[in-house]
Structure formats: structure tokens, C-alpha cells
Amino acid sequence: MNISENAALETPIEAVVLARKALSSGMTASLLSAAHNIYQDIAALMATPCTDAAVTCLSLPYKYLPHASSVSLEAVEDKALLDTLLGEIGRGSAGCSVRRMLGSDQVLCDLDQAWIRRQYAPHLYPVKHAPHGWHQDGALGFDFLTPGSAELDPEALLPTVTCWIALTLCGVDAPGLEFVSQTVEALLLPNELTHNALSSRFSADLFWKPQMQAGDAVVFSGATLHRTHVSQQMQRNRTSVELRFVAKHRIPQRLSGDCFVPLPQAVDCKPKS
């Protein structure tokens, strides 16, 4: 199974790396508090008589996505807190994994693709909310509607790496993530992303649902297949932060208009050669 934990960073790069305690308890608590306040503000706006107007207002400062219950990380207006977040990730084991997967020691965080996400227990779903189905983060912005796009686009699958950080317990009584732990090199099309198609393609032991503590992170490439893991028995909600990274020398064309900031680096962290 192509999974590694942060204690084994000298092994070859895997499809997904689990980094325990990627954030300090203080940082995790501060981010969770900020997220809680943002979702309270969103709930208040959504409760206004004119819901369409509320969504329009939210789309500007928050980039709120009701189906994913996601909001831009930039909604956290505490710049010092965000700088500390990137510092802890960049100088810790998660940042080492990001650099190794990208093959570069100069890594940028895409702030336009940085999110606070909330997944709800099934009995608590808000209006329009739905869990994420199987997908690859590297498909971001890809034109799935034009026939043959995957063959024509040399960057159909973007060379990105995602760092997904749990701010609460998840994977047992609250929604988590499920991965296909085998490395996939190509972009898969929608008809290849159904559960039946993937179950036929990959053996059962390659499907992995990590149980995570608050502050743990999973790091995975843009090619890695994953989805929301949720079951009817779950009773609690989950809050997380998602960061996406690119190598400084290889910013994909589809992301060229985004805002990037450097990821701080630990002196003893080297990318895979």
C-alpha cells in the first residue's frame, strides 16, 4: 500500500503521506476558532430573508461554496495567523513531504486555492451541501466537456500537491477522507471516477480511510484519487484546512493568475532528487 507516515520520509515518495501533529495544538485551536466564527457569520447571512443576496455578498469576501460548505482561507483576516500556519507547515514534516513530491526546494502556496472546509454528519447537512465524490486535485480547471481534451492538453493533470489538515477528530465519528493509495499518473475522466469503476480497477486493500487527530495532515499529489469518507453512523461535523502547492519554477498555466506566497523551509529538509 503506497502510504507512508512522516517518520519514514527517507522512503520513496508515496501516493499519500500521513503527517502526525503537522500543526501545534495552539495553532490548530486558533484556526478552528477562526473557522467557527466565519461559519457563524455565514449562517447569519444565509438566514437573511434574501438568500440570493446573501450568497452574492458571501462570494466576494469569502468565496463561499455552498455545495462543499467551503470558504476561502483569506476569510481569516488575521495575517499573522496565516503566516504562522504556513510557517509550521513549511518547517515541519508536512512541508518536507510537499517539497519531495514536487521535487523542488522552492515551493509556493496558491492562496486562491486555499480553503477552510466543513463536512457535516449526514443528519446535519445544510441546504445544498454534499460530500465530495472521487476526484483528483490536479484536475482543477480542466475542461472535461470538450472531447479529447485530456489528450490535447499537456498539463491536463496539474503538477500540484495538496496538504489537507484536520482541525478536529475525523475518520470515525466525523467525516474524513478516503484515498486510493496506488499512484496514478494520468487524469481520469468522469466515467472512470465512479465507485464501481474504481472498485473494479483497484483492489480493496488499496482503499484507505485514515483516522486523524486535530492537527494531523495528509499530503498528496494532484494525481492522487480521493473523496469524502462519510457514513450514516457519523454524528459529528469535521472542519479542515486545505492548502495547495506548486514548484516555483513550474506554475501551471491554468493557475497563472492566482496569488502565490513562498512556503517557509526548514534547513534540514531537502527535496527528492
Q: Which of 55-69, 109-123, 198-212 has the lowest mean pLDDT?
A: 55-69
Which amino acid does the sequence have at 124? L
Q: What's the pTM value of the predicted model, to 2 decimals?
A: 0.89
Residues in CB range of 25: below 8 A, 6 or more apart = 214, 215
Mean pLDDT to the nearest integer, 65-73: 87
269 has pLDDT over 80: no
pLDDT for position 21: 97
Q: Domain ranges in the chain?
A: 3-25+78-262
Report pLDDT digits (tens) over 21-38. Answer: 999 999 999 999 999 999
Query: Residue 109: how many CA atoms within 13 Å on its side-chain side?
Result: 23
Mean pLDDT to the nearest integer, 72-99: 95
Which strand (E) or helix (H) includes residue 40?
Answer: helix 25-46
Query: Residue 246: how many CA atoms within 13 Å on its side-chain side?
Result: 24
Maximum Cα interatomic distance, the chain, rounded to a whole number of Å: 57
Look at residues 264, 266, 269, 268 and name the one whose alpha carbon lies nearest to residue 108. 264
DSSP 110: E
Architecture of domain 3-25+78-262: Sandwich (2.60)
Look at residues 38, 32, 159, 39 and name the one whose alpha carbon lies nearest to residue 85. 32
Report pLDDT digits (tens) over 175-192. Answer: 999 999 998 888 999 999
Q: Which three cell numbers stand for residue 73?
A: 482561507
d(CA 121, CA 238): 8
Cβ atoms of 211 and 171 within 8 Å: the answer is yes
Cβ atoms of 160 and 140 within 8 Å: the answer is yes
Which amino acid does the sequence have at 196? N
Report pLDDT digits (tens) over 88-144. Answer: 999 999 999 999 999 999 999 999 999 999 999 999 998 888 899 999 999 998 888
